[in-house]
Amino acid sequence: MAWLAETGEERGEVVSSQTMFDLSRDWYGGRLEADWSPPTATEAEAMFTKHGLTSDFWSLSPTAG
């Protein structure tokens, strides 16, 4: 936290490594399949919500924040 005080930066989103691991399994699952396509914004937000990531930080809506 000293770095934040020294630089004036705000603390960003903090999540557990387990949450990020679980999200990454959904995010990258099937990525090596020939017909894979990246998730849409709606699909991505649904993944975030599934893993409890619901703050404004995780919103992909242009009106968020």
> Tokens 């557990």 — which residue?
16
pLDDT band at 10 (very low <50, low <70, confident <90, very high): confident
Residue 60 to residues 35, 41, 47, Cα–Cα distance (Å) = 24, 6, 12
pLDDT 10s digits, 18-31: 999 999 999 999 99
Tell me the residue type at 7. T
Q: Whole-number mean pLDDT of the chain?
A: 91
pLDDT 10s digits, 51-65: 999 999 999 987 655
| Residue 56 per-residue DSSP state | G
Tell me how far apart the 2 most distant CA atoms of the chain are, in Å. Answer: 48
> Tokens 């894979």 — which residue?
36
16: its two tokens: 């557990």
4: its two tokens: 């934040």
